[in-house]
Amino acid sequence: MQSGPEPTLPEEESSEAELTDIEVETEVIEGEAVTSEEAAVEAEPAEPAEPDYKDQWIRSVAELDNVRKRARRDAALSEQRGVARLARELLPALDNLDRAIAAAEAHPESSNPDLIDGIKLVQGELLGAFTRAGIVRDAALGEPFNPHQHEAVAQQPAEGTAAGTVIEVYEHGYLLGDEVLRAAKVVVAA
């Protein structure tokens, strides 16, 4: 038996070199070169991060503010719808007051002046309440015909008046802001 250094086999050296090559071998994932060690790190589930309580608080405050704004807007819309509904119910009574005054003024000899003054007072109070609620009477006489606010019941030729101008109002129209509660019934110049 001889003693001495053991000869190394070339196979063992090549297998170690192959292992080193395998560890450094890269894969291409979505256009980026990633080593297999990095791929193993990416595959491991990430540790759950601590919740960001400040961010959650800010978002909650913002959501609460949005809810308050939406509630105010909804309440204002509901109030406006209620006012519009009540006004639509009261408009025929206001029209009847107008007719009563017109009939009494057409026949002054057969009417009581105190009664006419009382009717005018009630009419004025009702119009004042409408004005305080934001409801205005449409001043259509002499204005150009607007199909969104006026309802033409007739057309008549009128000298000295441009065609399409309102020359007579049969029934007044009323507006609540931009909303037409009732279109004015008018006669338009032809």
CATH class, domain 136-190, is mainly beta
Write the pLDDT tens digit of every residue in 3-62: 555 555 555 444 454 544 444 444 544 555 555 555 555 555 566 677 889 999 999 999
Other C-beta atoms lying within 10 Å of the C-beta of residue 188: 21
The C-alpha atoms of residue 173 and residue 152 are separated, in whole angstroms, by 12
Tokens found for residue 38: 């990095």
pLDDT at 42: 55
How do residues 49-62 score in pLDDT, each as one tens digit? 778 899 999 999 99
Stretch (H or E) spanning 123? helix 113-132
Q: Which of 145, 186, 137, 185 is nearest to 165 (CA)?
A: 145
Instruction: Return the pLDDT at 130.
Output: 95
To the nearest 10 degrees (0 to 180), the angle between helices 53-106 and 113-132 is 160
Chain segment 70-127, per-residue pLDDT in tens: 999 999 999 999 999 999 999 999 999 999 999 998 888 888 889 899 999 999 999 9
Whole-number percent of the chain with pLDDT over 90: 61
Average predicted confidence (pLDDT) for the chain: 83
Domain parsing of the chain, residue ranges: 55-133, 136-190
